[in-house]
């Protein structure tokens, strides 16, 4: 077969080394190019080449090319196929590679490898002829029967195939039109043959040998087809049949036969699922959906992504507590005891919760409002919710809503989405496994909004007793009855709760605790809980009340008790280390000499140092039990105090006053600072103030300017026009926190009055109140929290608007006792209370009318009695130095009465 042919392939061919598939002359195949040499070949020969010759390659089969360019060329198969590259497709993902479409031309044999890098080039010898066969008849004679026999088998094989398929009909035509010599290669690449067999055909250079080797392959294929036709039912698509039969076989499968273990498990699961659906007590509508879905599941091949989705859905449906509930334990007396035992103080909250439970006891299906506990963090809102569940004997589940900004979080994703899942409500029900749990919707005030919808709107449906008996989660797509669920919400503030949601809820304010309450809570609840958590006993650790007070005042500044709880935890941890260190040593000592131990103890007692955890005493000595936590120990464990009573220090110069602010975290004391400098009458405000607060500052300045003469207030140049050549800067510390609201008005006035009068504001006074341009003091909110904050900070007097007097009733008795309150309806009263000795400028003697003087001289005015001086003037008090305090009433044209306090020296 080495006769020279008129059509020649190039004598030097670049070699493409393939390791899968064998290209035979006359056939076409796709091959992937990803090794370094082959990539080089494609880039420099195919992509850059312009001639037809550059598209001819030598394909050497069965040669895995090493990935690294540096490695030597592997041993090459002797014979290859010269191929024409018809198409090059390239991609960069996941790594650079090309796919070539190549058509085999003829066999060749490598004579010599000329070059190995960057891609191999070899001198080759062509083995097949490429021209039309002119001597076909002669060839037929030469091969005689062999070629004829091959042709017959080939025709038989093709005719066994479906001739209606165009490709088969074309193949049938090709059998006649192609030269017989080309048929073995072409048919070998069409019929089912292994790579090894193909390689043998490639190596069969002689035509006779090639025919001989291919005939058995054709016969094998014909036999195979015959067998298949026998077993196959007519007119059934093979693939479809396999798909349709598989699931049914799985369902009706008899264990222990042919199926493998995995399929066994799947069978069992689906049968179980079906059984669960049948026995579950879900409503009819849900049941129908489940039956439909399980039917679909049975027909679905397991590899379909929808299979897992449907199965998960059905599993959730059977797991949901459609009809499963716990029986309520409704004993109000027991509930009261339980609530009292779990929580100290918070009387108002406990009272309202008991009322709610009592009504539930009397009327079973209460469509009452949803309770919403509003208060600073750590005041026990969540823990009361948990207690409610405990008293009712119900399951408890907390749903944290902080930061939720997608309504599918509440209502689930539709099952059409990838990764769809039910919302938090349905998930919660699945977790608790009953349909009447207590759901605590934590932090409803922190719900967000986004493009994915408003979760608050989804919550509306959940919380509306009229609607929630058929709440439809998008994932379930069938209604679930939520009417048995008891919802309790918590929030830090009502300001950010959407109005519609707020309307569905009954707000119960939970204010912060006083220091005394905190001490009680710590000793009744927090310390025992911490001791238990750390495996300590009261015989090992002792925390006296003074220490607790120290922790509260010096290490925490909060309305609730969460930080306090954490600090107590830190103390317990430190003590646990001491106890654990001491135990084995103690045991050792006991075993040795008890007397020696006594000596040790005495030795310690001699040292008058208090026994505390801070002692760096020899570890060989067991710590004295119980370990007493005193201030030294506290400092050692918690570090230096974080909050010192800095109030008096900060009020050591004019231009500082203490205000009271309300935040969602409770009340806070707030220092307002002012300074003045040469300038052009500008007011600078710093500390991240809101618009309302800025307006208060402007109001305060205007009022002071208009009253400057009355109070003898002057700027640095002695002018009553306070802003003349003067700039004022007002700062509200804790600059990073945004502040707003009108209640700082009185504080700003007091601070500026101090700045311009050069007098110090009393360091134990805090104040709150809105002001008007006429100097009236208007009521503000959050009085209780503000008063508690003043008390926490150790202040003695609080100035509040008169119309807020009623709010003082909510302040615990002990706090009221510790503080003195000044109720003011105008700024004069505020200033008089804020400065030692009052603020009113002492008028010149003689300012009082002569009638008054005469009365005083006659002794008609005396301390403790209210003396009317005139219809608008009444004496409040007089002092030993002859100073008379009286108040003037003025009826404003607004109908309000205005009181003005005056101090008068009158000798
Ligand atoms: P909130 O939900 O208001 O942020 P938590 O309910 O989480 O606060 O309370 C924090 C911790 O304080 C809990 O361990 C709780 O038991 C405790 N606690 C708060 N208030 C009281 C109280 N009045 N009596 C007993 N423990 C309380």
Q: What is the pLDDT of residues 869-893, one digit of tens each?
A: 555 555 555 544 455 555 555 554 5
DSSP H or E run through 288: helix 284-299
Distance 383 CA to ligand 1 centre (A): 5
Phi first, then psi, for residue 353 (nearest 5°) are -65, -40
The owner of tokens 């003087």 is 853
> Could you tell me the pLDDT band of residue 632, with boundaries at 50, 70 and 90?
confident
**CA angle (507 as vertex; 503, 511 as ends), nearest 5:** 150
478: three-class secondary structure by DSSP: coil
Mean pLDDT of the region 460-485: 87
Atom 27 of ligand 1, residue of closest alpha carbon: 380
The owner of tokens 């969460």 is 562
What pLDDT does residue 714 have?
A: 81
Q: Which residues pair with 115 in a beta bridge?
A: 121
Which of the given ranges, 150-164, 723-737, 843-857, has the highest pLDDT on average?
A: 150-164
Atom 9 of ligand 1, residue of closest alpha carbon: 380
DSSP state of 36: H
User: Average pLDDT over the chain, rounded to whole?
Assistant: 79
> Could you tell me the pLDDT band of residue 567, with boundaries at 50, 70 and 90?
very high
| Least confident span in 423-427, 510-514, 584-588 | 584-588
756 has a pLDDT exceeding 80: yes
> Could you tell me the pLDDT band of residue 906, with boundaries at 50, 70 and 90?
very low
Structure tokens belonging to residue 489: 């919400």
Measured CA to CA, the distance from residue 471 to residue 487 in angstroms comes to 14
Mean pLDDT of the region 184-192: 87
* 848 or 363, which is more confident: 363
Atom 17 of ligand 1, residue of closest alpha carbon: 380
What pLDDT does residue 262 have?
A: 53
Q: For 303-330, how does the pLDDT look when each residue is reduced to its tens digit (9 = 90+)?
A: 777 888 888 899 999 999 998 888 888 7
Beta carbons within 8 Å of 461's beta carbon, 6+ residues apart: 411, 467, 468, 471
- In percent, the amount of the chain with pLDDT more than 90 equals 18
What pLDDT does residue 592 have?
A: 41
What pLDDT does residue 6 have?
A: 58
Q: What is the CA radius of gyration of the chain?
A: 48
Q: Which of 373, 380, 381, 529 to mutate to test the pocket of ligand 1 (most atoms within 8 A of CB)?
A: 380
Measured CA to CA, the distance from residue 298 to residue 276 in angstroms comes to 15
Q: Which of 515, 528, 561, 666 to mutate to test the pocket of ligand 1 (most atoms within 8 A of CB)?
A: 561
* 848 or 832, which is more confident: 832
Distance 236 CA to ligand 1 centre (A): 71
What pLDDT does residue 740 have?
A: 75
Closest CA to 618 of 632, 601, 635, 631: 601
Structure tokens belonging to residue 656: 């500082």
What pLDDT does residue 648 have?
A: 57
15: three-class secondary structure by DSSP: strand
Give the helix ranges, DSSP H, for 136-206: 136-143, 145-160, 166-177, 183-190, 195-203
Atom 24 of ligand 1, residue of closest alpha carbon: 343
Q: Which residues pair with 801 in a beta bridge?
A: 824
Atom 15 of ligand 1, residue of closest alpha carbon: 380
Q: Atom of ligand 1 at shortest distance to CA of 384?
A: 6
305-319 and 284-299 helices, crossing angle to 10°: 150
The owner of tokens 């539930």 is 360
Phi first, then psi, for residue 506 (nearest 5°) are -100, 120
Q: Atom of ligand 1 at shortest distance to CA of 385?
A: 6
Q: Atom of ligand 1 at shortest distance to CA of 376?
A: 3
Mean pLDDT of the region 12-34: 87
Structure tokens belonging to residue 53: 């010759």
Mean pLDDT of the region 602-614: 43
Distance 342 CA to ligand 1 centre (A): 9
DSSP state of 810: G
| Least confident span in 501-510, 564-573, 638-647, 651-660 | 638-647
**CA angle (287 as vertex; 409, 303 as ends), nearest 5:** 70
What pLDDT does residue 604 have?
A: 40
What pLDDT does residue 602 have?
A: 42
Q: Which of 338, 344, 383 to mutate to test the pocket of ligand 1 (most atoms within 8 A of CB)?
A: 383
What pLDDT does residue 650 have?
A: 65
Q: Which of 378, 388, 566 to mutate to test the pocket of ligand 1 (most atoms within 8 A of CB)?
A: 378
Q: For 84-105, how does the pLDDT look when each residue is reduced to its tens digit (9 = 90+)?
A: 998 888 877 667 788 888 999 8
> Do residues 890 and 897 make contact, with C-beta atoms less than 8 angstroms apart?
yes
* 561 or 228, which is more confident: 561
Write the CA distances from 392 to 21, 334, 336, 421, 493, integer angstroms.
73, 10, 11, 31, 27
Active-site residue, 786 included: yes
| Number of Cα atoms under 13 Å in the Cβ half of residue 310 | 22
Active-site residue, 299 included: no
229 has a pLDDT exceeding 50: yes
What pLDDT does residue 205 have?
A: 86
Atom 25 of ligand 1, residue of closest alpha carbon: 343
Mean pLDDT of the region 266-285: 83
Mean pLDDT of the region 220-230: 85
| Least confident span in 103-112, 356-365, 707-716 | 356-365
Q: Atom of ligand 1 at shortest distance to CA of 379?
A: 3
Measured CA to CA, the distance from residue 340 to residue 332 in angstroms comes to 12
> Could you tell me the pLDDT band of residue 617, with boundaries at 50, 70 and 90?
very low
Measured CA to CA, the distance from residue 288 to residue 305 in angstroms comes to 23
Mean pLDDT of the region 769-779: 91
Catalytic residue among 743, 754, 757, 825: 743
Give the N- to C-terminal CA distance of the chain in Å, as an integer: 146
DSSP state of 474: T
> Do residues 767 and 659 make contact, with C-beta atoms less than 8 angstroms apart?
yes
The owner of tokens 């005083």 is 856
Measured CA to CA, the distance from residue 469 to residue 489 in angstroms comes to 19
What pLDDT does residue 267 have?
A: 63
What pLDDT does residue 297 have?
A: 86
* 506 or 2, which is more confident: 506
> Could you tell me the pLDDT band of residue 579, with boundaries at 50, 70 and 90?
confident
56 has a pLDDT exceeding 80: yes
What pLDDT does residue 396 have?
A: 93
Closest CA to 37 of 15, 62, 20: 15
Mean pLDDT of the region 780-803: 88
Closest CA to 349 of 508, 518, 240: 508
Measured CA to CA, the distance from residue 401 to residue 234 in angstroms comes to 62
Q: Which is it for strands 797-801 and 765-767: parallel, antiparallel or unpaired?
A: parallel
What pLDDT does residue 615 have?
A: 45
Mean pLDDT of the region 401-425: 85
* 169 or 286, which is more confident: 286
What pLDDT does residue 840 have?
A: 72
- In percent, the amount of the chain with pLDDT more than 70 equals 78
Measured CA to CA, the distance from residue 575 to residue 638 in angstroms comes to 12
DSSP state of 689: B
Distance 530 CA to ligand 1 centre (A): 13
| Least confident span in 595-609, 630-644, 736-750 | 595-609
Neighbour count for residue 16 (Cβ, 10 Å): 30
837 has a pLDDT exceeding 80: no
Residues contacting ligand 1 via CB (< 6 Å): 343-346, 377-383, 490, 521, 525, 560-562, 565
Closest CA to 64 of 86, 37, 30: 37
Beta carbons within 8 Å of 752's beta carbon, 6+ residues apart: 655, 674, 700, 701, 704, 728, 730
What pLDDT does residue 594 have?
A: 40
Q: Which is it for strands 56-60 and 12-17: parallel, antiparallel or unpaired?
A: parallel
What pLDDT does residue 252 have?
A: 39
Measured CA to CA, the distance from residue 715 to residue 814 in angstroms comes to 43
155 has a pLDDT exceeding 80: yes
494 has a pLDDT exceeding 60: yes
Neighbour count for residue 330 (Cβ, 10 Å): 16
> Could you tell me the pLDDT band of residue 66, with boundaries at 50, 70 and 90?
low
746 has a pLDDT exceeding 70: yes
């Amino acid at each position: 077969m080495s006769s020279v042919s008129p059509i020649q392939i190039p004598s030097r061919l670049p070699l493409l080394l393939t390791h899968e598939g064998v290209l035979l002359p006359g056939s076409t195949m796709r091959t992937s190019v990803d090794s370094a040499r082959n990539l080089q070949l494609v880039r420099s020969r195919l992509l850059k080449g312009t001639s037809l010759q550059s598209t001819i390659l030598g394909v050497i089969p069965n040669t895995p090319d090493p990935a690294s360019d540096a490695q030597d060329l592997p041993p090459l198969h002797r014979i290859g196929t010269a191929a024409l590259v018809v198409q090059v497709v390239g991609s960069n993902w996941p790594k650079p590679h090309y796919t070539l479409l190549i058509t085999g031309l003829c066999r060749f044999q490598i004579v010599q490898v000329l070059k190995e890098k960057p891609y191999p080039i070899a001198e080759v010898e062509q083995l097949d002829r490429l021209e039309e066969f002119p001597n076909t008849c002669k060839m037929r004679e030469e091969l005689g029967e062999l070629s004829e026999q091959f042709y017959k088998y080939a025709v038989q094989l093709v005719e066994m195939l479906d001739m209606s398929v165009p490709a088969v009909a074309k193949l049938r035509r090709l059998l006649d039109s192609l030269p017989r010599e080309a048929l073995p290669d072409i048919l070998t690449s069409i019929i089912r043959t292994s790579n090894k067999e193909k390689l043998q055909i490639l190596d069969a250079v002689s035509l006779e040998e090639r025919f001989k080797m291919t005939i058995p392959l054709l016969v094998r294929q014909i036999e195979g087809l015959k067998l298949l036709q026998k077993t196959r039912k007519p007119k059934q698509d093979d693939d479809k049949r396999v798909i349709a039969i598989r699931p049914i076989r799985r369902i009706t499968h008899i264990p222990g036969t042919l199926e493998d273990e995995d399929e066994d498990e799947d069978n069992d699961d689906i049968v179980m699922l079906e059984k669960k659906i049948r026995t579950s007590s879900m409503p009819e509508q849900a049941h129908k959906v489940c039956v439909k879905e399980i039917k679909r599941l049975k027909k679905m091949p397991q590899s379909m992504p929808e299979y897992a989705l449907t199965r998960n859905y059905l599993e959730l449906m059977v797991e949901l507590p459609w009809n499963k509930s716990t029986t309520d334990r409704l004993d109000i007396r027991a509930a009261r005891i339980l609530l009292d035992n779990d929580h100290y103080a918070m009387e108002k909250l406990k009272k309202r919760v008991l009322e709610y439970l009592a009504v539930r006891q009397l009327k079973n299906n209460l469509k009452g409002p949803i309770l919403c506990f509003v208060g600073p963090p750590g005041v026990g809102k969540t823990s009361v919710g948990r207690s409610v569940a405990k008293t009712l004997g119900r399951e408890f589940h907390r749903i944290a809503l902080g930061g939720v900004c997608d309504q599918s979080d509440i209502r689930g994703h539709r099952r059409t989405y990838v990764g769809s899942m039910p919302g938090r409500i349905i998930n919660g029900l699945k977790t608790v496994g009953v349909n009447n749990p207590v759901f605590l919707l934590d932090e409803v005030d922190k719900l967000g909004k986004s493009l994915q919808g408003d979760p608050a709107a989804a919550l509306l449906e959940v919380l509306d007793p009229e609607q929630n008996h058929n709440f439809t989660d998008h994932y379930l797509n069938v209604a679930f009855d939520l009417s048995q669920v008891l919802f309790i919400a918590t929030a830090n503030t009502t300001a950010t709760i959407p109005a519609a949601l707020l309307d569905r809820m009954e707000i119960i304010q939970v204010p912060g605790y006083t220091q005394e309450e905190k001490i009680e809570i710590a000793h009744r609840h927090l310390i025992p809980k911490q001791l238990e958590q750390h495996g300590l006993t009261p015989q090992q650790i002792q925390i006296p009340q003074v220490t607790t007070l120290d922790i509260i005042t010096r290490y925490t500044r909060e309305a609730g008790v969460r930080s306090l709880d954490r600090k107590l935890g830190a103390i317990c941890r430190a003590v646990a280390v001491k106890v654990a260190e001491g135990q084995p040593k103690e045991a050792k000592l006991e075993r040795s000499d008890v007397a020696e131990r006594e000596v040790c103890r005495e030795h310690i007692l001699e040292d008058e140092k208090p026994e505390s955890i801070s002692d760096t005493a020899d570890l060989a000595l067991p710590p004295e039990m119980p370990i007493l936590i005193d201030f030294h120990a506290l400092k050692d464990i918690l570090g230096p105090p974080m909050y010192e009573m800095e109030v008096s220090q900060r009020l050591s110069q004019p231009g500082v006053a203490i205000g009271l602010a309300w935040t969602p975290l409770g009340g806070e004391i707030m220092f307002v600072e002012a300074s003045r400098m040469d300038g052009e009458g500008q007011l600078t405000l710093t500390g991240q103030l809101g618009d309302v607060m800025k307006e208060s500052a402007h109001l305060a300045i205007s009022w002071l300017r208009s009253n400057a003469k009355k109070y003898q207030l002057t700027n640095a140049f002695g002018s009553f026009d306070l802003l003349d050549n003067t700039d004022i800067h007002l700062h509200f510390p804790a600059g990073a926190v945004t502040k707003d609201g009108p209640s700082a008005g009185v504080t700003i006035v007091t601070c500026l009055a101090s700045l311009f009068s050069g007098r110090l504001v009393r360091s134990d006074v805090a104040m709150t109140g809105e002001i008007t341009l006429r100097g009236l003091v208007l009521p503000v909110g959050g009085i209780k929290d503000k008063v508690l904050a003043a008390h926490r900070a150790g202040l003695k007097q609080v100035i509040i608007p008169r119309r807020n007097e009623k709010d003082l009733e909510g302040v615990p008795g002990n706090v009221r006792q510790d503080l003195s309150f000044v109720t003011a309806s105008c700024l004069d009263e505020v200033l008089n209370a804020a400065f030692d000795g009052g603020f009113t400028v002492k008028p010149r003697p003689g300012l009082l009318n002569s009638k008054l003087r005469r009365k005083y001289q006659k002794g008609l005015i005396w301390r403790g009695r209210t003396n009317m001086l005139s219809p608008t003037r009444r004496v409040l008090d007089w002092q030993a130095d002859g100073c008379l305090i009286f108040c003037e009433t003025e009826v404003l044209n607004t109908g309000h009465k205005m009181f003005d306090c005056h101090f008068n020296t009158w000798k």
